[in-house]
Structure 1
Amino acid sequence: MIRIRPFRVLKRLAPRDLMARSLLIIVIPMLLLQIITAYVFFDRHWDIVSRRLNTAVASEIGFIARLIHTYPGEDMQEWAFSLARISQGLVFTLTPGGRLPEIPPQNSDPIERALAHRLGDYIPYPFVIDPHPGEGNLTVHLSMAEGLLSVTLSKERLFTESIFLFVFWMASSSMVLFGVAAIFMRNQVRPMLRLARAADAFGKGREAPNLKVAGATEVRQAARAFIAMRDRIRRQIDQRTGMLAGVSHDLRTPLTRMKLQLALLEGTEGVEALRADIAEMERMIEAYLDFARGTGTEVARTTDLNALLQAVVARHRRAGARIDLTIPRPLTLPLKPQAFERCVGNLIGNAVRHGTRVMVSAVAQREHAEVLVDDDGPGIPPDQRETMFKAFQRLEQSRNQKTGGIGLGLTIARDLARGMGGEIALLDSPYGGLRVRLTLPL
């Protein structure tokens, strides 16, 4: 048995954006109030006005009918009919010996039903009503001893146009109020959209435009908090970058002195081993600094993705790597060029290190671009893929640098990708090894 949960259905049908929901909060109570008001007003107004108008017409017809019945004669009849036509707008005709026509009742016409109800209270004769569909008049036929008395009158005497005027003004005022509410809500939502766009751009590592503090008090408070947070993060990045520059200088200075000392000891036993250790130490220090530096202060700018991929692949090909490159149509997107080259370079370096053949391709999707790096190596077990993004994690558990890096390649690559608003995922490659998918927003 399928259980229908109305609140869940209403939640799914409700609009998602704030402005539409706010307008819905305004419109629904307004519509309910107008519907209830219109129903109560129409019910009472229509009933009272209709009763009074139909009572007046029924009493006038009943008065003329009784008058010509009580005082027969052509002079009295002509006088009564003339008086009714001039003062009341009722056109009477008397057909001696006439019979009531067979006219089916129009149950769908409220005017006819109301008049028929009132005529029964004021006319003691059989009658039928011919509503003349499509016309502005109706005719009441009465069967009297004198013959068939017919009276034609305008339907305008049986209802008032004030009802339609009320509906018009009610609908017009509702549209005006809705327009004013829409303008007001748009002005309130606009600062929130600017804040959301600025936060999204800053989170993707792009230069967020100067955010104007505007809107309601709560929105202004959120905007000020975001600006303060952005400034603190920028100061922290600047301080870290400056500190790392000093650390890099301080570490390279003693290594340079050691290189000079080894140059003076050329030909001495063990010098080559020491020189190899110093080179390895420089490589490790550079990897640590790259990991700590992250994206630095580089600013994203519109960049040709294909040109960057060709440059990175060409650099690895010059080192002897076998790489197949498949690039899409010309594609430009906001990137940090140096960060992108370091990120893709780390991914290709890992693939070259573990496979004999590397395939690099780019795919343009609707809202993002994907860079795929495939290899035919041993791959990574699915249960260990997320662990490999942690710092100093290696599949090969020994610390032998000849069998791999120091376990920072994927960590640095993910840090650089996230600094550009992207993400990295490890998947199974169709070539039997590992596929690394780099996703970047357009």
Structure 2
Amino acid sequence: MKGVMSVLRHPRSLFTHMVALLVGAMLVAKFASWTASLDDKAATVRRTHIEETLLRIAATTRVMGTLPREHRADTLAAIRARETRYSVDDTPAIPPDYQLTDPQAMAVRDRLIDILDLPPSAVQFKMWNRAENAEPSWFHNPWAAIEPVEMGMKFSVRLADGQWLNAVNRRMVQPTVWSSTSTWTLLTSILMVAAATFYISRRLSRPLRDLADSADRLGRGEAVPALETERGPEEVRRAANAFNAMAARIRRFVDDRTRILAAISHDLRTPITNLRLRVELLDEGETKSRMLETLDELRSTVEATLSFTREELGEEAVRADLSTLVESVCDDFADTGHPVHFSAADRLPLICRTSSLRRAIRNLIENALAYGGTARVSIRSDGAGAEIIVADDGPGIPEPDMERVFEPFVRLEASRNRRTGGVGLGLSIARSVVRGHGGDIRLSNRPDGGLDAIIMIPIVTSPDKEGIILRKAA
């Protein structure tokens, strides 16, 4: 019940938004029309009561006209009702000189004259109710119409022999403001509105959902097929066309940038190799040693950049088991004698670009080994996302530099050992890869010493829904 109330208070989907708005508008309109009809309902109930009373008085008058005088009193006693008192007298209960001024009362008197077909002088009538003497007000309260009203009517009808049938009717009249018919009408209206809203929202939400899914996948660096531009209203079609054009421009820009970077990195390898050959011909000394060290660092930078761009170009997302993937990376390090320990985890299937993700994990483990001597790798998941934790026992990173270390070619000399052979691209490449999967990397110093590098990545497990082309991983 709490979940239903929460959805009604905070609708999330387009369908619930539209149902809430349309049903709310319909209820307000129904309430307004129902309030406006209260006066009519009350007037109808009173007219019905008056008509019924007139017919009873007319019938009683006809019966009294056919009876001898000595039997009239007993007959009236027999037909006496709780709301109506009858008597037959020699004089009318209403003075003959009484003049009606209320148009409604005059209409009722004329109606009784027509029913009995008597002259006007043979019928006297008076009508009142509790609200008759109410003071007029500029503000009309429609709710007052549903309050019980005591209606009173007095009749004096002359019989054929000269006697008068006198009758007084008093009744509490209250209109029925709601009925089972009203309930069924309201429920039917709500169901019709919900059905129409469901149809409309489905026509709108499907292309919008496809647009949101494609935008999310595009943000993760996946190849996104063009959206259909012939579905939905004009606004949705324009949004689909704009997204297709934007996706094409982004993909073209990223591909051009990656190819240029790969070309530059590849072209630099030849002059670096030529320079190294020339330096090797120099005499041994400190200058030669420093030049070779600079060339090695430059070569490492070029190789890292070229390797990264090769992995980015053309790699498709495939189904993989995250636990197996991380364990295989750790085993590669352990096989070469590095102190890398992996805590076994349950199978965790997801869709990812395996080579790129391997590289990101490998970069973090290399950092842990370089600055902490050991690396402890573990995985935890809450179903919607997974965290890969790479822990080391190094000196950690100062809090102000937590974000700066992700910038390209940044190495912290003050707090981290510089003699690592790295070029400052490891964390930058790792974060780029993880963000391309829709996740991020967070660094955290442990209170007892050491650093935790945490890869946070969402779990995407439905390639059919995501439109990902699967292929067998090498």
Q: Which TM-score applies when normalising by structure 2?
A: 0.67
Q: How does 1:90-109 map to 2 (within 5 A)?
A: none
- Cα deviation for residue 395 of structure 1 reads 1.4
Does the 8 A contact of 2:396 with 2:445 survive in 1?
yes
Q: 1:307 aligns with which of 317, 320, 324?
A: 324
Counterpart code for 2:32:
I
Q: 2:204 aligns with which of 188, 201, 206?
A: 188
Aligned-partner Cα distance in 2 for 1:384–1:304: 33
Aligned-partner Cα distance in 2 for 1:197–1:393: 35
Partner of 2:39: 44
- Cα deviation for residue 76 of structure 1 reads 6.1
Aligned-partner Cα distance in 2 for 1:24–1:361: 46
Deviations 1:283-313 (A, max 9, x none): 1222344577783432222111122212211
Q: 1:199 aligns with which of 215, 219, 228?
A: 215
Does the 8 A contact of 1:291 with 1:412 survive in 2?
yes
Aligned-partner Cα distance in 2 for 1:408–1:341: 15
The 1:33–1:380 alpha-carbon spacing in structure 2 relative to 1, beyond 3 Å, is same
The 1:25–1:356 alpha-carbon spacing in structure 2 relative to 1, beyond 3 Å, is same
Partner of 2:94: none
Task: Return 249-258 or 197-206, whichever deviates more.
Answer: 249-258
Matched, 1:59 2:59: no
The 1:171–1:123 alpha-carbon spacing in structure 2 relative to 1, beyond 3 Å, is farther
Partner of 2:153: 121
Partner of 2:430: 413
Aligned-partner Cα distance in 1 for 2:379–2:178: 70
Q: How does 1:80-159 map to 2 (within 5 A)?
A: 117-118=150-151, 120-122=152-154
- Cα deviation for residue 45 of structure 1 reads 3.1
Aligned-partner Cα distance in 1 for 2:243–2:314: 19
Aligned-partner Cα distance in 2 for 1:217–1:111: 49
Deviations 1:127-161 (A, max 9, x none): xxxxxxxxxxxxxxxxxxxxxx9x9xxxxxx9899
Aligned-partner Cα distance in 2 for 1:112–1:33: 23
The 1:234–1:249 alpha-carbon spacing in structure 2 relative to 1, beyond 3 Å, is same
Partner of 1:107: none
- Cα deviation for residue 348 of structure 1 reads 0.7
Q: Which segments of 5 or more consecutive residues in structure 1 lack a partner in the other structure? A: 1-9, 85-91, 95-109, 125-148, 152-157
Partner of 2:140: none
Aligned-partner Cα distance in 2 for 1:338–1:254: 29
Q: Which segments of 5 or more consecutive residues in structure 2 lack a partner in the other structure? A: 1-5, 87-144, 157-166, 460-474
Does the 8 A contact of 2:265 with 2:305 survive in 1?
no
The 1:259–1:389 alpha-carbon spacing in structure 2 relative to 1, beyond 3 Å, is closer
Aligned-partner Cα distance in 2 for 1:176–1:11: 20
Does the 8 A contact of 1:237 with 1:297 survive in 2?
no
- Cα deviation for residue 418 of structure 1 reads 0.6
Give the secondary-structure state (helix, strand or coil) at the position aligned to 1:366.
coil
The 1:163–1:425 alpha-carbon spacing in structure 2 relative to 1, beyond 3 Å, is closer
Does the 8 A contact of 1:294 with 1:416 survive in 2?
no
Does the 8 A contact of 1:399 with 1:406 survive in 2?
no
Q: 2:346 aligns with which of 304, 316, 329?
A: 329
Matched, 1:16 2:48: no
Matched, 1:249 2:281: no
Question: What is the count of residue pairs matched by the alignment?
Answer: 377
Does the 8 A contact of 2:371 with 2:394 survive in 1?
yes
Partner of 1:172: 188
Aligned-partner Cα distance in 1 for 2:177–2:76: 30
- Cα deviation for residue 39 of structure 1 reads 2.2
Give the secondary-structure state (helix, strand or coil) at the position aligned to 1:402.
coil
Partner of 1:216: 233
Task: Return 27-36 or 12-21, whichever deviates more.
Answer: 12-21
- Cα deviation for residue 364 of structure 1 reads 1.4
The 1:185–1:280 alpha-carbon spacing in structure 2 relative to 1, beyond 3 Å, is closer
Counterpart code for 2:30:
Q
Q: How does 1:250-265 map to 2 (within 5 A)?
A: 250-257=267-274
Does the 8 A contact of 2:316 with 2:353 survive in 1?
yes
Give the secondary-structure state (helix, strand or coil) at the position aligned to 2:232.
coil
Counterpart code for 1:54:
H
Counterpart code for 2:445:
D
The 1:230–1:294 alpha-carbon spacing in structure 2 relative to 1, beyond 3 Å, is farther
Task: Return 297-306 or 14-23, whichever deviates more.
Answer: 14-23
Q: 1:29 aligns with which of 25, 30, 33?
A: 25
- Cα deviation for residue 379 of structure 1 reads 0.2
Matched, 1:320 2:337: yes
Q: Which TM-score applies when normalising by structure 1?
A: 0.71
Does the 8 A contact of 1:290 with 1:412 survive in 2?
no
Counterpart code for 1:388:
V
Give the secondary-structure state (helix, strand or coil) at the position aligned to 1:435.
strand
Aligned-partner Cα distance in 1 for 2:308–2:60: 108
Counterpart code for 1:352:
L
- Cα deviation for residue 180 of structure 1 reads 1.5
Does the 8 A contact of 2:211 with 2:227 survive in 1?
yes
Deviations 1:193-216 (A, max 9, x none): 110111112212334344222222
Does the 8 A contact of 2:146 with 2:177 survive in 1?
no
Q: How does 1:328-407 map to 2 (within 5 A)?
A: 328-396=345-413, 402-403=419-420, 405-407=422-424
**Identical-pair percentage:** 33
The 1:112–1:433 alpha-carbon spacing in structure 2 relative to 1, beyond 3 Å, is closer
Aligned-partner Cα distance in 2 for 1:317–1:242: 34
Does the 8 A contact of 2:392 with 2:451 survive in 1?
yes
Does the 8 A contact of 2:371 with 2:395 survive in 1?
yes
Aligned-partner Cα distance in 1 for 2:14–2:22: 12
Deviations 1:349-408 (A, max 9, x none): 111111132211011123101000111110011122112112222210699962552222
Aligned-partner Cα distance in 2 for 1:62–1:111: 27
Q: 1:281 aligns with which of 290, 298, 309?
A: 298
Counterpart code for 1:396:
E
Q: 1:228 aligns with which of 239, 245, 248?
A: 245
Counterpart code for 2:327:
Q
